[in-house]
Homo-oligomer: A and B are copies of this chain.
Amino acid sequence: MNSPRKVTRIQRQKREVILAAALEAFAEDGLRGATLEKIADKAGMSKPHVVYYFGSKDAIYTELLQSLLEVWVQPLRDLSEDADPLAAILTYMRRKLRMSQDMPRESKMFATEILHGAPRMRPQLSGDLKALVDDKAALIAGWSAEGKIAKIDPHHLIFSIWAMTQHYADFDIQVEAVLGPDRKAGLYDEADAFLTEFFVRALRP
């Protein structure tokens, strides 16, 4: 029957709730700033209960980070040969921008971790991530060599896409303060238009 499955589902749901609460807390205050009590409150349960499911605050943080990493680099994984290389890069940029819009908490959590030295991601950055980026950089370099896009350093191109798209999520407070409240609603449409135009100009041969 499904009696064991039922329990498992409940467990999985509880863990989901805790992870969601923790993500919010970590994005707001970082690993140190976020307290177990705050996470428990956001999750609607007691502090020992949170510990019961994850063992420690650190374990929640690490698990979140690891599972998010995969989601985070997926758009780059999907960058591949295309009828139009420029369109492929623009699509990648747009997916990253949409992730900033839809997952600002995830973006902030990553940013905070890396900003503070990425103590629990260093191996993956210089391992998997470096391999992935090198791979895609080679692809882009190929397009450059064939004259399909401008000749630019592909690694720095990727950095620039990361920087510009994540800026809107990570520093949203600053962006919104500078633009003023009126432009807040259409912000991501503006950003999309600007970045598209910007990268088209920079990349066409």
Contacts and interface: CB of A to CB of B under 8 A. Distances in A.
Contacts of A170: 111, 114-115
A21 interface: no
A32 B116 CA distance: 12
Contact of A173 (B122, B159, B163, B194): B122
Interface residues of A, number: 52
A101 to B, nearest CB: 15
B117 A115 contact: no
A66 to B, nearest CB: 16
Contact of A116 (B29, B114, B117, B150): B29
Contact of A114 (B133, B174, B191, B201): B174
A178 B130 contact: yes
Contacts of A203: 201
Interface of A: 28-30, 32-33, 108, 111-112, 114-118, 122, 125-126, 129-130, 133, 150, 152-153, 155-157, 159-160, 162-164, 166-168, 170-171, 173-175, 177-180, 190-191, 193-195, 197-198, 201-203
Contacts of A33: 30, 32, 116
A115 B111 CA distance: 8
B155 A125 contact: no
A157 B118 CA distance: 29
B156 A190 contact: yes
Given A114-B171, A117-B173, A201-B202, A125 B178 contact: yes
Given A116-B30, A167-B162, A179 B155 contact: yes
Contacts of A191: 156
A118 B156 contact: no
A175 B114 CA distance: 10
A169 to B, nearest CB: 10
A156 B194 contact: yes
Contacts of A180: 126, 130
Contacts of A28: 116-117
